[in-house]
Chains A and B, each alone.
Chain A
Amino acid sequence: MTNERWGMVIDLHRCVGCGGCDISCKTENNVTEGFHWSNHIIETRGKFPDVNYRYIPTLCNHCEDAPCVANCPTTAMHKSDEGLTLHDPDLCIGCAACMVSCPYGAIYRNDEKPHSRWRDEEVAIAGCTSSGKEVAEKSGEEIPHYNAERAETYKGIRPKGIIEKCTMCDHRVAKGKDPWCVESCPSGARIFGDLNDPASAPRKALAKHPPRVLQKEKGTDPHVFYIRDY
């Protein structure tokens, strides 16, 4: 048992809404088309000229009291000692109880074999461009941008039939690195660290600015906090 409690603070004032976190997550975690481990919500409020715009980056909240963990019939969805909500593909039966239980819509299921794009034999311009299948074959991997590091703590590519979700880059965190969305953020809007350590960056940010969470009323005790506004 460790003392760490990993969490993330997203500074909405620093966030420029570029979507870089969404894209970097896909490449780091070999996430298939249509799945969004890192996602965002855009909302507007009011009427011109008195309008307000909000861009809210979202991801699995790694809730302390995670309903996906409580409702999983096989304990495939579980809490790590450091408070991360992780998924064991070997135990998953693909019942989707976690999906319907998640108030944040952060979990996806592979109904088909993922990354179909890289098995597609169709070419855009015959005799000129390569098909997805040809590119994948040349790369020697199932997908050309395959990140082998991902497979250190999770299935590198999750197979058909099981669910998948954000792990807060536990494979990187285990090596003392920040999640890739944190490192990739060009404006430094994402702050990752140990919520149990008063000297950590997220704790300092939370002490400085009043924190908010998504759907507080659900009582899930999220580990992703939001500070300030756009």
Chain B
Amino acid sequence: MEPEVVFNIHPGPYWDWRIAVDLFLGGAGVGAFLFAIGLHAAFRGRYRRITQTAAWLAPILVVGGLIFLLAKLGRPMHLWVTFTSFAPTSPLWWGGIFQTLFVIGSIWYALQWRNPEANPKRRRVGWMLVPIAVIVGAYHGLLLAAVTARPLWNTGPTVVAALLAFTTTGIAAVMLTHLVRMKIGGRLVEGEHLDHFLDDMKPVRFILVGTLAAQLGTFFLWWLSLRLGNMQDQQALAAAEDAVGTMFWTLGIGIGLLLPLVLASFAWWRGESLHRSMQVRSIFATSLLILVGGYFFRLAVVLGGQAVLPVPSLS
């Protein structure tokens, strides 16, 4: 028979919404950058305007995330110590190094997009930054996955989920920002500009539907590996579902994945037959839902992973 713990005081949960915002914005920033590179390369510069939006958005989002991370540090002004230390076993140390490199590189890359004309130097540096961006994206999953004390985080699908989540939230952030940019510029009215915008969005829908479906599959595998795992895995999952289950399933999966998947699939399926204003609204709604859900998904994972008290098993 399992013991009933009647006294077991522990600090925490310790990482809060600020860590979730860092993971969310950092991931979206990396996603936006890779989206910019991928789109520009795959379509040979055909979608320059949206690529420009993505390139600008990337460093802004990553730096925004880092500001929230700093807000959670006990001694933020002491952060420089990380860069004078050598701690190769710490994902946080690697994250600090690579995020700094990424921020510097992506700011340079964004500045090169002031002029959207073809620029071979920009292209070269952009490709050099791709592996760093992937490492930074993976780091946002590894940071949690490396914590062996937290069974909810300490799984392979955590990293895969982070990689997929940064893709979808990155794309959504770019779409939404580009839409706002068009609206502010007065270009979101029937005519040539709107045609261009909807043309820009064609490949995006395709990428988005595939990634959202893959993300859904990864979450199912994650849930299944914990549900069928050892006693600690099951206890961690039960504690997380008790603490943040509603947030995870309703906002994270329902609002952030299922609904956008349905909307994006519908828009993709109907294609040009859908009225233009409906196409714009569908892009707006899909992006917003992915972003809202993406944040709450991370919040649920950050808080849920800390929900379980360590099992006092003596063996």
- Residues of A participating in the B interface, judged by any CB pair closer than 8 Å: 36, 39-46, 52, 54, 56, 58, 67, 69-76, 91-97, 99-105, 107-111, 160-163, 212-219, 226
B5 touches A42 (CB 8 A): yes
Least CB distance from B5 to A in Å reads 5
Query: Within 8 Å CB of A111, what residues of B?
Result: 74
B27-35, B40-48, B82-90: which one contacts chain A? B82-90
Cβ contact within 8 Å between B315 and A72? no
List the A residue with the shortest CB-CB distance to B74: A94
Q: In the complex, identify which listed stretch (B11-19, B210-218, B292-300) lies at the interface while the others stay far away.
A: B11-19
A216→B311 CA distance, assembly (Å): 11
B119 at the interface (CB under 8 A from A): no
From the candidates B7, B79, B92, name the one contacting A40 in the complex (CB within 8 A).
B7
Instruction: Give the docked Cα–Cα distance between A217 and B232 (Å).
Output: 10
Contact yes or no, B148 A101, CB < 8 A: yes
CB neighbours (8 Å) of A102 from chain B are 149
Q: B1 an interface residue at 8 Å Cβ cutoff?
A: yes
Instruction: Let me know if B310 is at the binding interface, CB within 8 A.
Output: yes
Contacts of B312 in A (CB 8 A): 41, 43, 56, 58, 214-215
**Pairwise interchain contact A105-B4, C-beta atoms closer than 8 A:** no
Within 8 A of A (CB), among B200-230: 230
Contact (Cβ within 8 A) B7 A70? no
Q: Nearest chain-A residue to B84 (Cβ)?
A: A74
Q: B31-85: which residues lie under 8 A (CB-CB) from chain A?
A: 72-76, 78-79, 81-82, 85
Give B residues with C-beta under 8 Å from A. Answer: 1-12, 14-15, 72-76, 78-79, 81-82, 85-87, 89-93, 95-96, 146-150, 230, 232, 306, 309-315
> Are the CB atoms of A92 and B5 closer together than 8 Å?
no
Within 8 Å CB of B87, what residues of A?
72-75
Inter-chain contacts of A42 with B (CB < 8 A): 5-8
CB atoms of B1 and A45 under 8 A apart: yes
Contacts known (A109-B14, A213-B314); A44 close to B3, Cβ less than 8 A:
yes
Query: What 12 additional pairs, Cβ within 8 angstroms, besides A43-B6, A93-B73, A94-B75?
Result: A43-B8, A58-B312, A74-B85, A74-B87, A93-B81, A99-B11, A100-B306, A101-B148, A105-B11, A212-B314, A212-B315, A226-B314
B82-A74 in contact (CB<8A): yes
Residue contacts A-B, CB under 8 angstroms, 16 given: A56-B314, A72-B87, A73-B92, A73-B93, A74-B82, A74-B93, A93-B73, A93-B76, A96-B14, A100-B15, A100-B306, A162-B74, A212-B314, A214-B314, A217-B232, A217-B313
Tell whether A95 pairs with B73 under 8 Å between CB atoms, given A100-B14, A214-B312. yes
- Which of chain B's residues has its CB closest to A104's CB? B310
Which residues of B lie under 8 Å from residue A94 when comparing CB positions? 73-75, 78
Q: How far is the CB of B77 from chain A (nearest CB, A)?
A: 9
In the complex, what residue of chain A is closest to B16 when comparing beta carbons?
A96
Q: CA of A36 to CA of B9 in the docked complex: distance in angstroms?
A: 9
In the complex, which of the residues B4, B15, B232 contacts A96, with contact meaning CB atoms closer than 8 Å? B15
Residues of A within 8 A of B93 (CB): 73-74
Q: Which residues of A contact B315 (CB under 8 A)?
A: 212-213, 216-217
Cα of A131 to Cα of B310 in the assembled complex, Å: 38
Evaluate contact between A215 and B313: CB separation under 8 angstroms. yes
Which of B5, B86, B150, B314 touches A100 (beta carbons < 8 Å)? B150
* Cβ A93 vs Cβ B75 within 8 A: yes
Q: In the complex, A41 Cα to B138 Cα: how many Å? A: 37
Give the complex CA separation of A222 and B146 in angstroms: 19
CB distance from A146 to the nearest CB of B (A): 22
> Are A93 and B149 also in contact (CB < 8 A) when A43-B6, A56-B314, A213-B315 are?
no
Among residues of B, the one whose C-beta sits closest to the C-beta of A43 is B3
**Within the complex, which residue of B11, B14, B146, B232 is in contact with A71, where a contact is CB–CB below 8 Å?**
B146
User: Least Cβ distance of A225 to chain B in Å?
Assistant: 10
CA distance A226 to B315 in the complex (A): 9
Complex contacts, B15 vs chain A, CB 8 Å? 96, 100
A103 to B93, CA, bound (A): 21
Which chain B residues lie closer than 8 Å to A72 at the CB level? Answer: 87, 90, 92
Closest chain A residue to B5, Cβ basis: A43
A45–B215 CA distance with the chains assembled, in angstroms: 42
Identity of the chain A residue whose Cβ is nearest the Cβ of B310 in the assembled complex: A103
Which of B92, B232, B306 is the one whose CB lies under 8 Å from A95?
B92
Q: Is the CB of B232 within 8 A of A162?
A: no
Given contacts A75-B86, A93-B73, are A45 and B14 in contact (CB under 8 A)?
Answer: no
Q: What 7 A-B pairs come out closest when comparing CB atoms?
A: A94-B74, A105-B10, A161-B74, A103-B149, A73-B92, A42-B7, A73-B93
State the Cβ distance, B313 to closest chain A Cβ, in Å: 6
- Does A109 contact B74, Cβ atoms closer than 8 Å? yes
